[in-house]
DNA sequence: GTGTATGCAAAGCTTTTGCATAGGT
DNA sequence: ACCTATGCAAAAGCTTTGCATACAC
């Protein structure tokens, strides 16, 4: 595995982010360091990083597909309907062994909250739907 | 809004299903009644039914995009990694007011469990990944 | 007869893949 | 010098849209 400017740019993007990012966000931010970086390269690197356990891919109906570092432990997410950003929530409100129908066994779960984040509530731009 | 064979076929599909269905499943089953039905028609009708509150669209990273009748009340879903089917789970293990960071307000949430369903556990086809 | 819903085909998006080559080792 | 990772372009899903026409009313 070779050290390229593109690969380093992508890793830096995640080091400098405190929330999960979309492919588009990753590409935009990576271009600040590696201006020529191509979408295909971003996808290829994200896939490699997920396969090697460095990143995790998360997905919800409203938040879409996002990537985040895998080191943060078990936690869940909050998607703001106003600014469209997704945030990490510390901890997990669920018991390890949920009540499931007879014979069903769960080994993992994914939980998304939807609502308004602190920043959007403060600014009061209720009418705004998604960034800028 | 006109009553067409295609529209009725789609509604019947959901009346006869006990679990959320993918667009592909809806199309296949609707063709049993309306053989000529087209994918575009399926999408258009699903959109209309969702907009009018009859269906709900759900989505997760592993289960993909699914539709189900909206009358079932608040509940969550279980996705079987072996057969690929998604099932309804009765009830909700979460409190209405979760602990969120200062200033955040949630109005809804979405929860997916992942694991093995009763049927797949019984049959023991652990190696199988997705139907048939 | 009028006008909406459908089928078909084309086009949008997002993501993946083939291939030549730039660049890391 | 070798060979991997990149850029570009094409292609492969999935979903939406334009347009002529079938068909519900």
pLDDT at B127 over 60: no
CA distance B35 to chain A (A): 30
Say whether residue B97 is in contact with chain A using an 8 A CB cutoff: no
Instruction: List chain A residues with pLDDT less than 50.
Output: 131-132
| CATH number for position A52 | 1.10.10.10
A37: in domain? yes
**Does any domain span residue B101?**
yes
Q: By the 8 A CB rule, do A15 and A21 touch?
A: no
Q: Domain total for chain A?
A: 1
Report the pLDDT averaged over residues B79-83: 94
- Out of A46-50, B33-37, B94-98, which region has the weakest mean confidence (pLDDT)? B94-98
Contact state of A102 with B118 under an 8 Å Cβ cutoff: yes
Q: What pLDDT does residue B131 have?
A: 46
What's the Å distance between residue B22 CA and nucleotide D20 C1'? 30
Percent of chain B with pLDDT over 70: 92
Pair A30, A13: CB distance under 8 Å: yes
pLDDT of residue B91: 87
pLDDT band of B18, cuts 50, 70, 90: very high
CA dist B54 and B56 (Å) reads 7
pLDDT given for residue A125 in this prediction: 57
A19/A54 Cα distance (integer angstroms): 15
Residues of A in contact with B60 (CB under 8 A): 59-61, 110
Residue B128 covered by a domain: no
Residue A86 lies in a domain: yes
pLDDT, residue A129, reads 56
Instruction: Please report, rounded to whole angstroms, the spatial distance between the CA atom of protein residue B36 and the C1' atom of nucleotide C10.
Output: 20
Question: Which residue from A60, A109, A115 is facing B107, i.e. has the nearest CB?
Answer: A115
Q: Of the candidates B101, B114, B121, which has its C-beta nearest A118's C-beta?
A: B101
Q: How far is A73 from chain B (nearest CA, A)?
A: 18
Q: List, as one string, the DSSP characters of B72-108.
A: G-S-EEEEETTT--EEEE-S--S-SS---STT-EEEE
Q: How far is A68 from chain B (nearest CA, A)?
A: 14
**In percent, how much of chain B has pLDDT > 90?**
81
Which residue has the least CA–C1' distance to nucleotide D9?
A40
Contact A106 B99 (CB under 8 A): no
A131 part of a folded domain: no
Entry pTM: 0.90
Cβ burial, residue A10 (10 Å; 0-12/13-18/19+): buried
User: In this predicted structure, what is the pLDDT of residue A126?
Assistant: 52
Candidate from A86-100, A117-131, B77-91, B106-120 with smallest mean pLDDT:
A117-131
Can you give the distance from the CA of residue A23 to the C1' of nucleotide C11 in angstroms? 23
Range of the domain at B99: 5-123
Within a domain: A16: yes
- As a whole number of angstroms, the distance between CA A74 and CA B54 comes to 35
Q: Is the pLDDT of residue B67 over 80?
A: yes
Q: Give contacts of B119 with chain A, Cβ < 8 Å.
A: 103
Give residue A73's pLDDT. Answer: 86
Give the pLDDT band of residue B37 (cuts 50, 70, 90): very high
Give the pLDDT score at B132. Answer: 43
* A45 in any annotated domain: yes
B18: alpha, beta or left? (left if phi > 0; alpha if psi -120 to 50): alpha
Is A60 a member of any domain? Answer: yes
pLDDT at residue B98, rounded to an integer? 76
């Amino acid at each position: 595995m070779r050290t390229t400017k593109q690969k380093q740019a992508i890793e830096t993007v995640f080091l400098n982010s405190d929330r999960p990012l979309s492919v588009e966000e990753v590409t935009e931010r990576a271009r600040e360091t590696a201006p020529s970086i191509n979408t295909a390269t971003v996808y290829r690197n994200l896939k490699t990083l997920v396969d090697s356990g460095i990143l995790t891919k998360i997905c919800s109906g409203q938040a879409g597909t996002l990537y985040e570092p895998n080191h943060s432990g078990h936690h869940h997410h909050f998607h703001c309907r106003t600014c469209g950003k997704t945030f990490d929530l510390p901890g997990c409100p669920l018991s390890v062994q949920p009540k499931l129908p007879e014979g069903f066994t769960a080994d993992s779960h994914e939980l998304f909250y939807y609502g308004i984040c602190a920043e959007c509530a403060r600014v009061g731009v209720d009418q705004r739907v998604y960034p800028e």
